[in-house]
Amino acid sequence: MKITKIEPLVLGTPWRDLTYLRVHTDDGIVGVGETRMLGHTEALLGYFNEAARNHVIGADPFNIEALVWRMKRGDYGRAGEVVMSGIACVEMACWDIVGKALGQPVWRLLGGNVRDSVKAYANGWYTVERTPEQFHEAARAVVDRGYRALKFDPFGPGRWELEPAEVRRSVELVSAVRDAVGPDVEILVEMHGRFTPAEATRIAGELERFDPSWIEEPVPPENPEALAKVSREARLPVATGERIHDRIEYRELFGLQAADVIQPDIGHFGGLLEARKVAATAETHYVLVAPHNVGGPVLTAANLHLAAVTENFKIQEHFNDFADSHVKQAAPGLPEVEDGFFALPTAPGLGVELDVDFVREYPASGARFDLYAEDWQFRGTKGASAS
């Protein structure tokens, strides 16, 4: 079997573009991969044009390790977010092809499942004003939908440190969410790399009484020593890793014991095998894995296959029940979240099929997402009904 063509398609929403890649083979099997770029979609499409002729066309989709190595090392220049995202799309699509060719879901080909279902947490649900009353109401809707965990960033456009009034306001939002969901639902507090180590630690102390399961990316991601300082001084678990694009970059983070939970994004990390390898390394350091996922149904499906085979998996992020829920129609077949859990996919390959006509109904429109802008939490919905 040989790859004959790759076909990128982009589905647009007000705040994110979802890039799908169909990989065609000479015996008619088509696989699909997905990633979500922030502001770099055109760069990714350009990379696909070069990678297709340099590495992908003519490759055997069963030889995934060799293809990933060529794409990552064969251009000599160091692979960053764009290249690793392109590799991820091709790699996912190859697994989809292999599973379809063998009539097996991908998790069986990765060693078989260690769990029968995957706990999910909701994100994208707080497209409301930053008031305790509206966060309380929105959080209740998440629990009513069946989720047993939810994540949110209460800090507005904060950067480096907050004014005292903003600290109080942010803490009040966390308090409102905890009050809304009760003591048995996990709350996960996102910091989006906003703060200095001292400010992140101070805020973590204010949040302890609400028992969040983690604080996420408390400082910018480039400095593992700064993150280690927060981990040493804060008394809450620390999660990070969505902006790390190479598993080798995790080496220093593990050595510093800077994180309790890592969050590789399969769509930016070179695909399933790369994420599987870093998860195995994390297990040797007693670190849990909770993959970052702002993707649509294909990328979410890939995450479920990884979760199925990962012993130290914690929980799976999911946006699509609350932000742009229509994107689920792009690739039918993904299990729905029921009572807080995804069932494992059972169809061959990734278990979903891309609806090309649907994707083409929602072309990219230059989505822009700025986490330091006022009211960013609306994700393009302000003026419409909040979900």
Of 381, 327, 302, 365, residue with least CA distance to 110: 302
Distance CA 272, CA 305 (A): 8
326 is an active site residue: no
* CA dihedral over 76, 77, 82, 88, signed as positive or negative: positive
Tokens 């229509």 appear where? 326
Indicate the helix (H) or strand (E) that contains 12: strand 3-12
Distance CA 113, CA 309 (A): 5
The one catalytic residue in 192, 245, 285, 305 is: 192
Burial 359-376 (b: 16+ CB within 10 A, else e): beebebeebeeebeeeeb
Number of helices (H) and strands (E), helices first, in the chain? 12, 13
Amino acid letter at 259?
A: A
Q: What is the DSSP string of 127-189?
A: -S-SSHHHHHHHHHHHHHTT-SEEEE--STT-BBB--HHHHHHHHHHHHHHHHHH-TTSEEEE
292 is an active site residue: yes
* CA dihedral over 326, 328, 331, 332, signed as positive or negative: negative
Distance CA 373, CA 216 (A): 19
Would you give the end-to-end CA distance of the chain in angstroms? 45
> 63 — phi, psi (to 5°)?
-90, 65
User: CA 11, 378, 290 angle in degrees (round to 5)?
Assistant: 70
The one catalytic residue in 136, 292, 305, 318 is: 292
Q: Give the residue numbers marked as catalytic.
A: 192, 292
